[in-house]
Amino acid sequence: MSSTAIDTSHGHQGEHHSRGFVAWCLRWITTTNHKDIGTLYLVWSLLMLFVGGAMAMVIRAELLQPGMQFVRPEFFNSMTTVHALVMVFAMIMPAFAGFANWMIPLMIGAPDMALPRLNNWSFWLLPFAVGLLLLTFVMPGGAPAGGWTLYPPLVLQTGDSFPFAVFAVHLLGVSSILAAINIIVTIMNLRAPGMALLKMPMFVWAWLITAYLLVVAMPVLAGAVTMLLTDRYFGTSFFSAAGGGDPVLFQHIFWFFGHPEVYIIILPAFGIVSEIIPTFSRKPLFGYAAMVYATASIAFLSMVVWAHHMFTAGMPLAGQLFFMLSTMIIAVPTGVKIFNWTATMWKGSLTFETPMLYALAFLFLFTLGGFSGLMLAIVPADIQYHDTYFVVAHFHYVLVPGALFMAFGGAYYWLPKWTGHMYDEKLGKLHFWLTAIFTNVTFFPQHFLGLAGMPRRIPDYAPQFADFNFMSSIGAFGLGVSQFLFVYVIIKCVRGGPKATAQVWDNPAGLEWTVPSPAPHHTFDEPPVIK
């Protein structure tokens, strides 16, 4: 049996040499290997970072000074809408899906993902979905401009691009659900002998819980956008008050998806932090079981807090109280996690390589973003903050230092394992400091803009907001330009550099550090036994 396997692989190599570019393209299009698909996800996510980032640059260029500067208001609104959709669905979720594909089989001692063909399909749905979304810019009436939340009745005014945007969201949802099912099946069925659930690495736990959230949340979004579609083209009145519907119903359905969604984005980041901090503290993770239970509690509670986005929509007092208190309770398990990460570092032998710097920045800035979230959870305060730039500042402080920083941190942490080369530590640290400084210069002033009453999603503003907007825009341009350095670091690392050992770091824990660097195309044909 083994000899035939060897023969076929030699045959394949011969084909690669003879057909050259076509064979190379086909290899990447048809691959079912988890490492290849992980790489595709990560490269795609990096590309989308620049597409979504370019839209953010348009937004910040327009807001550099008061008055209408560069673009028409409706195009500005399209930018705010599509920037969010691209960043959430096409950049950050695929980035963590890339980490999952690459690392979960290595961490649990599996030869591959459980459903490799489904894995290939869930990736290749992405480019088509995003292509549909971006094509809306050249359609009559322009791209969707009603905000990424797609609230009716405003979103129903979208031109001919409306069904394409809805279909794009559907495809993105299908891609996520398929990936989630694959991850659940892999973790449940392919763990190495002896690896009980409570012996799994924290990253694997984070992804298992995230995958369940995806399976719960994504169909709800699909239902909501389908109802929008039938309202627009088939004469139904789910959300039209004239026909007996209710636009607030859409908000409830959307945020029932939307709030678990923000935890779908952040839980894998929590998993990466839980891998990085113990490695560079040279200590095991403090309170492992508490971390697992806290992650599961966050996931459960994320489903009962959705209406905190709707305090100004005319909710009865009992509803306001329930959602205010449940939102405050969700801060408890998150606080447990932050305490445990801090306790892991306590009396550890810390070194500050680039992944650790990102993990520490995450710890500080994500906590700050969490506190501004607690301010928004207080109903009487939220009535003042709602729909101002304070909300924008809050969610960018949890999404950029939360999710994006950990995508960077995870990339630096595992890049030597993937490529077999060490990245340039000096350039990595330079990229970190530029990113961290400009993130704060961009988003911190937005708290003050919000407190002063500047509404979000507007292309023009009163002169009293000019100074803070100027600061914010300068920060954004700096943040955008700094990311080209990240691309350079990656290309330099892939092309060569100091050879990485199998362990890469000083005594890290986990199965992925037992395989050589670069990780071979096939790993764990014989499953390792966990003692």
Query: Which residues carry out catalysis?
Result: 83, 112, 148, 175-176, 259, 261, 263, 274, 308-309, 334, 337, 456
380: Cβ contacts below 8 Å, ≥ 6 apart = none
458: Cβ contacts below 8 Å, ≥ 6 apart = none
The amino acid sitting at 197 is: L
Buried residues in 430-440 as b, exposed as e (16+ CB within 10 A): ebbebbbebbb
The answer to whether the CB of 361 falls within 8 A of the CB of 432 is yes
Would you state the structure tokens that stand for residue 429, as one six-digit string?
């640290």
The Cα 520–Cα 219 span in angstroms is 37
DSSP 8-state class, residue 222: H
The Cα 305–Cα 296 span in angstroms is 15
CA angle 481, 389, 407 (to 5 degrees): 40
DSSP of 334-375: HHHHHHHHHHHHTT------HHHHHHHHHHHHHHHHHHHHHH
SS3 58: helix
Long-range contacts of 432-436, Cβ-Cβ distance < 8 Å, separation of 24 or more: 432/354, 432/357, 432/358, 432/361, 432/408, 434/478, 434/479, 434/482, 434/485, 435/405, 435/408, 435/479, 435/482, 435/483, 435/486, 436/357, 436/361, 436/365, 436/401, 436/405
- What does each C-alpha distance from 280 to 329, 346, 423, 501, 508 come to in angstroms? 31, 12, 17, 16, 8
SS3 499: strand
Torsion angle of the four alpha carbons 76, 77, 81, 83, in this order, in degrees rounded to the nearest 10: 10
- What burial class does residue 133 get, using C-beta atoms within 10 Å of its C-beta: 0-12 exposed, 13-18 middle, 19+ buried? buried
